[in-house]
Amino acid sequence: MKSITTIILLAVLSTASAQQKNNPFKVLAFFTAKQDAAHISFVHEANKWFYNASKQYNFIFDSTNDWSRLNDTVLSKYKVILFLDTRPEAPEQRTAFKKYMDNGGGWMGFHFAGFALTPSDYPQNWDWYHNEFIGAGQYKGNTWRPTSAILRVEDSTHAATKHLPLTFRSAANEWYSWEKDLRLNKDINILLSIDSTSFPLGTGPKLYEIWHSGYYPVVWTNKKYRMLYINMGHNDIDYEHGTNKELSSQFSSEMQNKLMIDGLLWLGKR
């Protein structure tokens, strides 16, 4: 016969599960999708993938290319914000986003959302976001062509990585390197890096776009915030023949997909 304590515990767990199903958390993805075909390809894939995942994992997924919605009123309705390809540029949008994160909001940013390079169309003109929040500073370089890599789990205790094997193969991606060494930042917890068995990484033709050694973090969190930066988000595209045909998919790796959904559920405080 079950004890009264056991019966009460089961009742509490059942009630909590029912409340979770009846109160899905809300996710809002921002994107631009106007320039690089590889980034546009990822945005289209991501919008479809996260929408389908929302039905399976019980969250509400909305998406917009209207960055003016990055304001206090709209953000207050969402548990998690995604930046699929870029970052906000307007001062009032940046202020609203920082306030949202300071107050415990959740954020997941992909690939180009972390990019900053002075001079370029996306200069490093937002110190809090690039130097403190993401922590990487400016973009330094990248591999080419987009290729898959063997990724190594650096922290297997985090909710986003605890169901992953020690190493796994990613989808094809253009990999970034950064101005700052994240290992020296006490607030940064590196979750995934490129495993040495991936080298040489990239196929060129420019020799400096083929990496032969080094340490390259690709997924990390800032312990002062509920956030995840994920360097994946650049598909392989047929630029050479002018077709812009998609040659790869960011959602072709089962383990990479697991990382994304477990990370999202963590940000949603499941």
The CATH number covering residue 58 comes to 3.40.50.880
Which of 115, 135, 126, 71 minimizes the C-alpha distance to 97?
71
- Has residue 72 been placed in a domain? yes
The mean pLDDT of the chain is 93
- How many structural domains comprise the chain? 1
- Has residue 4 been placed in a domain? no
| pTM (predicted TM-score) | 0.91
- Has residue 66 been placed in a domain? yes
- Has residue 228 been placed in a domain? yes
Q: Which domain holds residue 67?
A: 24-267
* Segment 91-110 mean pLDDT: 98
Task: Cis check for the bond before 205: say yes or no (omega within 30 of 0).
Answer: yes
How, if at all, do strands 176-178 and 188-194 pair?
Answer: unpaired
- Has residue 5 been placed in a domain? no
Q: What share of the chain is helix, strand, coil (3-state, %, to 5)?
A: 35, 20, 45
Adjacent-strand bridge partners of 189: 221
* Segment 210-219 mean pLDDT: 98
Residue type, 63: S
> By three-state DSSP, how is residue 221 classified?
strand
Tokens at 103, concatenated = 């107050």
- Has residue 168 been placed in a domain? yes
Does the pLDDT of residue 233 top 80, yes or no?
yes
- Has residue 145 been placed in a domain? yes
State the pLDDT confidence band at 225, using cuts at 50, 70 and 90. very high
- Has residue 19 been placed in a domain? no
Q: pLDDT tens-digit profile of 7-38?
A: 544 544 444 444 456 689 999 999 999 989 99
* Segment 145-160 mean pLDDT: 98
